[in-house]
Every structure is written in C-alpha cells, then in structure tokens.
Amino acid sequence: AFVGLSDSEEKLVRDAWAPIHGDLQGTANTVFYNYLKKYPSNQDKFETLKGHPLDEVKDTANFKLIAGRIFTIFDNCVKNVGNDKGFQKVIADMSGPHVARPITHGSYNDLRGVIYDSMHLDSTHGAAWNKMMDNFFYVFYECLDGRCSQFS
C-alpha cells in the first residue's frame, strides 16, 4: 500500500537525494554502470546495449541517455515527495512503456539496491529513502500489473 511520508521523512529524502541531484547525469552514469556490472544479464534488457561489452558502451550517448532517463524519473519523484498525487503521476506516466518490456520485478529491485548502496545513507535517512522507494515500487508494480488507473 502507498504510505505517505511525514514532513520530517520528506526532508530526509530530499537531503539524501541532494548530492545526486547536484550531479544527476554523472551519478546516473556511474550507478547505471555499476548496476549493469553487478547484474550483467540486465544489460540485455536494453536493445541498444545488448550484445556489446559494457566498457565499450559506458561512455556512449545512448548509455548516458538511458541512465539520465532513469535518474530523471527518481529526481521528479523526489521533487514530488509530499505531493502524493504528483508523485504517483510521475510513476504512472513512465510506467506505460515498461509494461511490454520483458523485465522482471527482480531486475527493478536490483536497480533499487544499487541506487541505495551508492547513496551511503545513515539509518535515519535510509529508512525515509526506503519508505519513499516502497511507495515508488508499489505504484510502479500496480501499473505494470494493469492497475494504473487508480493513480490518474
């Protein structure tokens, strides 16, 4: 279920995200690279990256475009923390193209873990971040499973 964050949790999420927001593309590239390096089978889920050595594609415009898109979604979610309808709309809007993709919930959860690990959060910030991400994935999985209309 979707559980709204308290004012203090919202601030913790924004504070945790601030260093990433400050270098969104650079962080996106690094984290996406680390994600694909740790879970190489997930690279095949991206048609333009499929079949190419990771180290050969990591500096390409397409790699950066994909990484940037992923992190822009999270950036927009953080901007909408505290505005539940806005937060849900960001996720609902981006979920449509993902419905037909052969990507498992596990692959998405892998990305969640790599992002979390890259943030080096203390337990207080980590708890708030995880609550926000629980909401993100609740909405996202509901949409992937055909129940997105509840968020529009």
- Residues belonging to the binding site are 48, 69, 98, 101
Q: Residue 72: give the domain boundaries.
A: 7-146
Residue 2 in domain: no
Residue 107 in domain: yes
Q: Give Cα 63 to chain centroid, integer Å.
A: 16
**Residue 98 to residue 47: CA distance in whole angstroms:** 13
Q: Structural domain tally of the chain?
A: 1
- Residues belonging to the binding site for heme b are 48, 69, 98, 101
Stretch (H or E) spanning 122: none
pLDDT the model gives residue 112 = 96
Choose the weakest-confidence range: 27-36, 100-109, 130-139, 140-149.
Answer: 100-109
On whether the pTM is more than 0.85, the answer is yes
Tell me: pLDDT of 85 over 90.
yes
| Beta carbons of 105 and 115 less than 8 angstroms apart | no
Residue 108: which CATH number? 1.10.490.10
Choose the weakest-confidence range: 3-7, 70-74, 141-145.
Answer: 141-145
